[in-house]
Amino acid sequence: MGKKTLSIGGATYDLFVRLPSDTVHECEETASFALPLGAKIAVDQLIETCGGGASNTSTGLSRLGCDACFEGIVSSDQWGEKIMETLKKEGVNTECITVVENEVSSFSIILSGTSGERVILYESGTNAHLHDSTFDKEMLSQMDWVYLNHIQADSCEIQDDIVEMLANDDSPKLTWNPGGCQIDAGLSPSNNSELLAHTDLLLLNKEEALKFTKTSSIEEAIAKLIGAGVANVAVTDGARGVAASDGNKIYRCPVVSGVEILDTTGAGDAFGTGMTWGLLTGLSFPDALKTGSINAASVVGAIGAQTALLTDIEITSRLQTIDLTVSCDSL
- Regions in the chain scoring below 50 on pLDDT: none
* pLDDT score for 133: 63
pTM above 0.75, yes or no: yes
Residue-wise burial string across 206-236, b where 16 or more C-beta atoms lie within 10 A, e elsewhere: bebbbbbbebeebeebbbbbbebebbbbbbb
- CATH of residue 293's domain is 3.40.1190.20
**Residue 106 located in a structural domain:** yes
Residue span of the structural domain in which 294 resides: 9-26+42-330
- pLDDT value of residue 111: 86
pLDDT given for residue 134 in this prediction: 61
The DSSP-derived string for 218-232 is: HHHHHHHHHHTT-S-
- Asked whether residue 72 is assigned to any structural domain, the reply reads yes
E strand intervals along 247-326: 249-253
pLDDT the model gives residue 310: 98
Helix (H) or strand (E) holding 199: none
Nearest partner of 66 among 331, 281, 288, 245, judged by Cα: 281
Does residue 302 sit within a domain? yes
Q: How far apart are CA 200 and CA 280, in angstroms?
A: 10
pLDDT (tens digit per residue) in 153-203: 555 667 777 788 777 777 899 999 998 878 887 778 888 888 899 999 999
Domain contains 284: yes
In a domain, 32, yes or no: no
Within 13 A of 122's CA, how many CA atoms are on the CB side?
Answer: 20
Residue 186 lies in a domain: yes
Structural domain count, the chain = 1
- Torsions phi, psi for 210 (to 5 deg): -70, -40
12-18 sheet: strands from edge to edge: 45-51, 12-18, 107-112, 118-123
Distance CA 4, CA 96 (A): 14
Q: What is the pLDDT of residues 253-289, one digit of tens each?
A: 999 999 998 888 899 999 999 999 999 999 999 999 9
**Residue-level pLDDT at 115:** 65
| Domain annotation covers residue 31 | no
Phi first, then psi: give them for residue 290, nearest 5 degrees. Answer: -65, -45
Residue 183 within any structural domain of the chain: yes
- Residue 182: per-residue pLDDT: 81
pLDDT for the residue 14: 92
Distances (CA, A) of 72 to 53, 80, 89, 254, 269: 10, 11, 17, 33, 16
153: closest CA among 172, 175, 178, 116?
178
Task: Output the pLDDT for position 135.
Answer: 66
